Structure 1
Amino acid sequence: MPPVSRSASQPELTALFASVQQHFLGVIVPLWQGPGWNAEMALPYEALDAEHNPLPPQRYRAMACARQLYLFASLIGQVPAAEERAAALFRSLQRHFHDAEHGGWFYSVDAQGAPLDQRKDLYTHAFILFACAHYWDKVREPLVESVLNAALEVVARRFATGDGLYDASLDRDWSSLGSGPLQNPLMHLAEAFLALLSVREDIAVERALVELCTAMQKRFIDPQHSVLMEKPLDSVDNWFEPGHQFEWYFLLESSELLRGSKLHASLEHAFAFTEQLGVDQETGAVRAMLDFKSDGGSRDATQRIWAQAEYLRALTLRPDSEAEVLRQLQALQQRSLHAGGWYECRDEHGEVSRRDMPSTTPYHLATCYRGLVDYLR
């Protein structure tokens, strides 16, 4: 595609984004206000099928509840009844998932609301922290800040390993499961720390975030290509995921505190390499997993909507990216969105491979669109 100047591409991009955002507010969000909402449990169903019927519930996850809490908190003032829904999700987070005996939050409950997977995982706690920070910013209720502080305390006291990193998973009573640190929960913890710092000053969190990113650089960055691996460098059977590379890049580039850090420099250096290996140049599709040992050979070529959204969001912070932002938003609209919602996955040949719509995906679209709003501003 030939270069397009910002002034030339802006009207087309603005019009396209207005259409995509209307689809989000008019089609996707109502799915989770209506058919995706289990009013009896006051929880979102895990997923809807293509006809908007809930998939038979096997479980409800605290992480999914927290992502929807973020979604509706972000829509307060924009969407009717968003504040009421956010309040219901916040209550459900405490009612269904909080562990009164040991503290923290369970991973999941069963279809009847009884504790199912009672382990404590960092990914879940990071999303609770993230969602509560955004929700508290909107409502400023003492109870929300109390839960926010409790999540912070649990992360610092229970998950921290003392070297800037955090265990990915612990047993219900906080005993070790030998999980060690993993990239994805740590990324969402960094995201949660940034969310908290955007709504209040917190020197301890600022220090923890810098220490986390310093440790990520040391333990997870491949020295040859500067890509961020999914497991620590000394792990067996390691790989990297372009979607996570782009997600980390956005977090680091958008933060005054982290921009200019060694980790930021690594992700900046690896951006073109990740695009070259992880993005289909013809369709713009982002591949799921790349093999570290074969110089980026595809390990899983599934094309997931969340990775597409993260690439688009990252591009909004790249210099001279106007043409590519427009191209990728077109790709997202044409390949992932449809009149009834969205396609979660396409296979390596571009054929739709998942038609169900998980309750966790609107979080990725909401954060992507928020990035586009800032870009167009």
Structure 2
Amino acid sequence: MSISIDRSIAAEAATLRAHYAQTVLPIWRGPGFNSALQLPYEAVGADDHAPLPAARYRAMACARQLFIFSHAGDAAHAEQLFHAMRRYFHDEKHGGWIYSVDAQGAPLDTTKDLYTHAFVIFACAHYAMATGDRDALRVIAETALLVQARFAAPDSLLHAALDADFSAVRTGPLQNPLMHLTEAYLAAYETTGEPSYETTLAQLAGSVARSFVHAPTGAIAELPIGSADNRLEPGHQFEWFYLIKRAGPAIAESGLERELSRAFDFAQRNGVDRATGGVYAALDEQGAVKDATQRIWAQTEYLRALATRARDEDLEALALQIPRFQARFLHARGWYECLTPAGDVARADMPSTTPYHLATAYASLTN
């Protein structure tokens, strides 16, 4: 890579981080935070940052905010979020974490959702790493044990959702919660050093490889292979690519690293709009665009994947992609959550869950 490209990426990444620190984070310390409940609102308006009327608060959204403030070094705000997450969402009767509470903080949706549990582990791992909080370490261990015991499905997979007391399956295995559980176990291992997380990662990677890899492309499908109306999301191929590279030896025997190298090329070739650099939401199994919406999280995963693969051609693409992303998706008051290929705003509000994607992508860019 040339020195000029290196300097260009570093300067562009610094601009992204400045926007995040000066524009994005203050929203969620201020108007995006319900100080009475000590929970983040689900979303705020893009123009005035006024919170949208609160119909619910989700555990996953609270956990993502716990991550971003732990990652940002704001221990005081992270501590509020950690205690609020435990107070509102932990199920003292059945164990685990409920999906949501209502506008007054009373239980609303008591489904036991794997995606939620993955983010509790992930966020607590980062909070514990930042603060040394021993209660957070206990939450990680207890939640990980519960996930393996209660969500277990055939072939070392895990169900996506169960009812409140874990007695009935609501949704079978899905790609997305399994991906975020992979991310969570990586964070738990890095925080605790417990070798059991490496063992669990290896089992999880093997089961994903057997059940979700689309053989012609190497892509990881959203539904188990053979399911009707399946789809391949370019953003998830980029996200998995980063996670598998980071996991390294823990997942080597699964073959996922080899498959995701093919999936990266498939997603880049078919899922990135050549005119704008925008990443499409979904492709079909032949590579045709199934959903042309361009969501900001998929753009951030493309940036992170380019920085992770880091071949000369990737870094050249990254140097072009960062300013395209900045011009297309960021603005002085925040960001655009979803755009059409033509650049029209398809979703006008700014969700509290999106800063997680910004933070993880920006952290991977060259310093």
For the criterion TM > 0.5, the same-fold answer is yes
Q: 1:229 and 1:358 mapped to 2: Cα distance?
A: 25
Q: Which amino acid aligns with 1:301?
A: A
Alpha-carbon contact 1:287-1:303 (below 8 Å) kept: yes
- 1:288 corresponds in structure 2 to 281
How many residues are aligned here? 363
Aligned to 2:304: 313
C-alpha offsets along residues 199-223 of structure 1, whole Å, 9 cap, x if unaligned? Answer: 2222222111111111111100111
Instruction: Give the corresponding residue for 1:41.
Output: 37
* Counterpart Cα distance in 2 of 1:146 and 1:166: 22
Of 19, 23, 28, the match for 1:23: 19
1:105 aligned to 2:102?
no
Superposed CA deviations along residues 162-185 of structure 1, whole A, max 9, x for unmatched, are: 522110000000022241110000
Deviation string, structure 1 residues 111-167 (Cα, Å, up to 9, x no partner): 011100100000000000000011111111221111111111111111122522110
Percent identity over the alignment? 47
C-alpha contact (below 8 Å) 2:42/2:61 kept by paired residues? yes
For residue 256 of structure 1, give the secondary structure of its aligned residue in structure 2: helix
Matches within 5 A, 1:41-190: 41-50=37-46, 51-76=48-73, 82-190=74-182
In structure 1, how many angstroms separate the alpha carbons of the residues matched to 2:61 and 2:221? 25
The answer to whether the 8 Å contact 1:305/1:343 transfers is yes
* Residue segments in structure 1 that go unaligned for 5+ positions in a row: 77-81
Q: Does 1:256 align with 2:248?
A: yes
Q: CA deviation at 1:347?
A: 1.2
Which residue number in structure 2 is paired with residue 350 of structure 1? 343
Alignment partner of 1:119: what SS? strand
Contact 1:253 1:259 in 2 (8 A): no
Q: Which amino acid aligns with 1:39?
A: S
So what's the TM-score if we normalise by structure 1? 0.94
Contact 1:159-1:166 within 8 A present in 2 as well: yes
- The residue that corresponds to 1:365 in the other structure is 358
Task: Quote the Cα distance in structure 2 between the aligned partners of 1:259 and 1:176.
Answer: 30
Contact kept, 8 Å, 1:68 with 1:363, in 2: the verdict is yes
Distance in 2 (CA, whole Å) between partners of 1:39 and 1:270 is: 43
Work out the CA distance in 2 between the residues paired with 1:270 and 1:13.
25
Offset, 1:258: 4.4
Q: Secondary structure at the match of 1:116?
A: strand
Give the corresponding residue for 1:79: none
Find the aligned partners of 2:239 and 2:102 in 1 and give their Cα distance.
31
Which position in structure 2 is the counterpart of 1:331?
A: 324
- Alignment RMSD, CA only? 1.2
Take 1:200 and 1:111, find their aligned partners in 2: how far apart are those partners? 35
Task: Output the amino acid matched with 1:59.
Answer: R
Is the Cα–Cα contact under 8 Å of residues 206 and 251 in structure 2 kept in the other structure?
no
Q: In 2, Cα distance between the equivalents of 1:244 and 1:164?
A: 21
Cα distance in 2 for residues equivalent to 1:178 and 1:35: 35
Paired position in structure 2 for 1:12: 8
What is the CA deviation profile of residues 224-261 of structure 1, one whole-angstrom value per residue up to 9, with x for unaligned ones? 11111101012121111000010000001122224644
CA distance in 1, matches of 2:145, 2:126: 18
Distance 2:315 2:226 in 1: 39
Q: What does residue 265 of structure 2 align with?
A: 272
Name the CA distance, whole Å, in 1 between partners of 2:290 and 2:191: 39
Distance across 2 between alignment mates of 1:14 and 1:277: 28
Structure 2 residue runs without a partner (length 5+):
none
Q: Alignment partner for residue 230 of structure 2, among 232, 238, 246?
A: 238
**What letter matches 1:130 in structure 2?**
F
Alignment partners' CA distance in 1, 2:270 and 2:203: 30
- The amino acid of 1:199's aligned partner reads T
Q: Deviations over 1:27-51 (max 9, x none)?
A: 0000001000100010000000121
CA deviation vs aligned residue, 1:43-93 (integer Å, no higher than 9, x gap): 0000001211000001000000000000000011xxxxx111100000001
* Partners of 1:39 and 1:200 in 2: CA distance: 32
Say which SS state the counterpart of residue 118 (structure 1) adopts.
Answer: strand
1:29, 1:156 → 2: CA distance? 34
CA distance in structure 1 between the partners assigned to 2:263 and 2:44 by the alignment: 36
CA contact (8 A) 1:107 1:117 kept: yes
Contact 1:62 1:97 in 2 (8 A): yes
Asked if structure 2 preserves the Cα contact closer than 8 Å seen for 1:258 and 1:264, the reply is no
Q: For residue 357 of structure 1, give the secondary structure of its aligned residue in structure 2.
A: strand
Partner amino acid, structure 1, of 2:353: T
